[in-house]
Structure formats: C-alpha cells, structure tokens
C-alpha cells in the first residue's frame, strides 16, 4: 500500500525525499580554500525524539567563514619592506660623502680703543733758566707714563714742541726748530736724545749749571725744618745735573752735624740718594718727636 506522502519524482535519478526532509537539510556555507563540511546525517520526521537541526550542529562545529585571501593555503602573507621615499626628490650628494660642517662663526674683533692719557701735561715753557730743569723733568715723566701713546722718538719730539709758550724766547726757539724739521725731505724729527741736548744747550747754559753745583754745597740745613730745607736743596740738585754719587756727597755735607753722624752709624749705607734722604727724614722725625719743638741737633 503506497503512502499518500510519497510521490514519484517526475525527474529520473532524483532522490525520493519528501519536501519536509529537503527543507530540514541545511546547506553549509561555501568557503573557498577550505575543505567542505561532511554532509549531515539524514533524520526522519517520523522519529519520536526531536533531533537538533543541522544548522545548530554546524554552528557548534564549523568555524566562521574566513574572508577571501589571495595568499595560498597555509602560507604567511609577505611583509612589504619599508621603501624609502622617491629618490627623485632628494638632492644629489657630492662624491666622497657628506661635506664637513662649516666652522662656527667667530665674531669680528672690535678695533682697540686708543689708550687713555694719564697724568697732566706740563705747563708751556716760557724760556726762563730757573724753571728749565723742572719743565724738562715734567715733560719726560709725562712721556714715560704714556709710553703706549708716545712710543717713537718722532711722536715725542713733535709733541714736545707744542709745549713751548708762543711769544716768548722758548716759543721762538720751538718755531725755528719746527721749520728746520719740516724743511727736510723726507720730514725727520731726529732722536729724542738729540732734542734733549739741544734743549739743554739753549735753556740751561753752563754758567747756570755751575751755579747750581755751588748751591748744593753752600746750602746747609742748620736750624731749618728738614722738609723745607730739602725742597730748596733738591731744586739746585736738579739744575746741577751731576751724577748720583756727587749728589749724595753734597747732601751729607749740607745736613745738620747730628743727622750726619746718625747716618754714619748705619750698618748698611743706602746706595741711592732717595734712600739716603728717607733715612735722614726718619731720624729728624724721631728727634722732633722725643726732643720737643727745638730745631736742630746741636
């Protein structure tokens, strides 16, 4: 007896499955590059115990679909190396490697300012014989202190000629000296020693020097205060223009006798006039301190 649910398939070679069985058969998803899942086990609708559908079975055993990949099965996709930027935009490098770094910039040295003038220039000389030595000593001291400025004989001579007072005998002499220098071709101021000799020959005559030599022997201290006496005596010593030994001998001769004897007791006698004067000043100060206001030692 034929069942009313089963009908003959009009197409030959087809399975005679019922519509219910066909609907219960789940078709697994197709995945490229993966093995196909095994076909599900056929179940009958007439079974008394409910069977899980093929869809639930596949969800627990089948991995989710893998996205399509161009790589063959089981191979690791190649890692693209980091390629540098296009070399067409880079500047060409010179041969032999990179050029050395430029040296650090050195600030330009500022020009040295002119040296500062020290001291005071001497007063213009008027030609008087009693002030000639004092003027010349002040002039030489001024040039010595500012040796960085007056560093040549030409600078000294040309500058010294400006310290002679115009309208006097000294100013006329300086004017004639300048005219002689400028008439030379080329201009030549000569040496400083030649200028010194010319000045002394003009303004410190021989008789003036002889008078000064006599004065350093004939100006004794006696009862004078030492500082006042030495100021007068040293003026003659400058005009005498004698050597150091002559000045020291004349100084000791002109001192008070007690001071002279005190200097003779020194175990080490000073070798310069300045040292001898300092010792005599010290002895005179001690005598005035302990002996009272009386001047002199006699």
Q: Higher pLDDT residue, 86 or 58?
A: 86
* Residue 47: predicted pLDDT: 44
pLDDT one-digit tens code per residue, 79-133: 565 655 554 555 666 566 666 777 777 666 666 777 788 888 899 999 988 788 8
Same domain? 222 vs 279: yes
- What is the spatial distance between Cα 170 and Cα 127, in angstroms, rounded to a whole number? 4
pTM above 0.75, yes or no: no
Expressed as residue numbers, the domain containing 148 is 129-204
Residue environment code for 45-60, b if the CB has 16+ CB neighbours within 10 A, otherwise e: eeeeeeeeebeeeeee
d(CA 211, CA 204): 11
pLDDT score recorded for residue 18 = 47
Q: Is residue 76 part of a domain?
A: no
CA 174 to chain centre: 47
12 pLDDT above the threshold of 70: no
Kindly write down the DSSP assignment for every residue of 18-72, as one continuous string.
Answer: -HHHHHH-PPPPP-TTSPPPPPPPP--TT-SS----HHHHHHHHSPPPPPP-SSP
In 3-state terms, what secondary structure has residue 164? Answer: strand
Question: Has residue 240 been placed in a domain?
Answer: yes
140-190: pLDDT as tens digits: 999 999 999 999 999 999 999 999 999 999 999 999 999 999 999 999 999
For tokens 């006496």, the residue is: 229
Residues 200 and 220 in one domain: no
**Among candidate residues 176, 204, 232, the one where a domain is terminated:** 204
pLDDT band at 59 (very low <50, low <70, confident <90, very high): very low
Predicted pLDDT of residue 165: 94
Same domain, 163 and 139: yes
pLDDT on residue 156: 95
d(CA 38, CA 26): 12
Q: 190 and 230: one domain?
A: no
Query: Which one, of 223, 296, 216, lies nearest residue 261 by Cα?
Result: 296
Is 227 among the domain residues? Answer: yes
Asked whether residue 283 falls in the same domain as residue 220, the answer is yes
Do 216 and 237 meet the contact criterion of CB atoms below 8 Å apart? yes
What is the pLDDT at residue 57? 44
Q: Regarding predicted confidence, which is higher, 16 or 236?
A: 236
What's the DSSP call for residue 266? Answer: -
Pure H helices in 97-243 = 132-145, 153-160, 169-182, 192-203, 206-217, 226-240
- 240-295 confidence digits (pLDDT tens): 878 899 999 999 999 988 888 888 888 888 899 999 999 999 988 887 776 655 55
pLDDT tens column, 64-80 = 555 555 555 555 666 56
On whether both 194 and 168 belong to a single domain, the answer is yes
How many domains, in total, are found in the chain? 2
CB atoms within 10 A of CB 34: 13
Examine the domain organization and report whether 144 and 192 are in the same domain: yes
Residues 196 and 268 in one domain: no
CA distance 16 to 22: 10
Q: What are phi and psi of 115, to 5 degrees?
A: -65, 150
Residue 24 near residue 54 (C-beta atoms within 8 A):
yes
Based on the fold, state whether residues 189 and 225 are members of the same structural domain.
no
Residue-level pLDDT at 179: 95
pLDDT at position 115: 77
pLDDT at 235: 85
Q: Give residue 209's pLDDT band: very low, low, confident or very high (50, 70, 90).
A: confident
Contact 65, 33 (CB under 8 A): no
Q: What is the mean pLDDT of residues 223-251?
A: 89
- Do 152 and 164 share a structural domain? yes
Among candidate residues 174, 204, 234, the one where a domain is terminated: 204
The residues that bridge with 164 in the sheet, in sequence order, are 125
């Amino acid at each position: 007896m034929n069942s009313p649910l089963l009908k003959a398939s009009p197409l030959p070679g087809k399975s005679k499955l019922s519509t219910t069985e066909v609907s219960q058969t789940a078709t697994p998803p197709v995945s490229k590059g993966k093995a196909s899942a095994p076909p599900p086990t056929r179940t009958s609708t007439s079974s008394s115990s409910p069977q899980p559908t093929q869809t639930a079975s596949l969800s627990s055993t089948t991995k989710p679909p893998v996205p399509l990949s161009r790589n063959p099965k089981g191979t690791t996709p190649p890692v693209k190396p980091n390629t540098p930027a296009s070399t067409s935009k880079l500047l060409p490098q010179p041969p032999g490697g990179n050029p050395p770094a430029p040296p650090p910039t050195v600030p330009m040295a500022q020009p040295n300012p002119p040296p500062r003038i020290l001291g005071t220039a001497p007063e213009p000389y008027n030609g008087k014989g009693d002030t000639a030595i004092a003027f010349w000593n002040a002039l030489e001291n001024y040039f010595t202190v500012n040796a960085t400025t007056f560093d040549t004989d030409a600078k000294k001579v040309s500058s010294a000629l400006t310290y002679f007072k115009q309208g006097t005998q000294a100013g006329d002499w300086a004017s004639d000296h300048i005219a002689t220098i400028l008439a030379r071709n080329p201009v030549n101021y000569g040496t400083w020693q030649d200028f010194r000799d010319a000045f002394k020959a003009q303004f410190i005559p021989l008789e003036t020097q002889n008078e000064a030599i006599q004065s350093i022997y004939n100006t004794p201290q006696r009862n004078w205060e030492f500082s006042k006496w030495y100021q007068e005596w040293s003026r003659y010593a400058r005009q005498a223009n004698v050597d150091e030994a002559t000045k020291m001998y004349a100084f000791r001769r002109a001192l008070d006798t007690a001071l002279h004897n005190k200097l003779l007791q020194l175990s080490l006698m000073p070798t310069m006039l300045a040292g001898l004067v300092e010792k005599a000043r010290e002895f005179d100060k001690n005598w005035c301190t302990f002996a009272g206001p009386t001047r002199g030692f006699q």
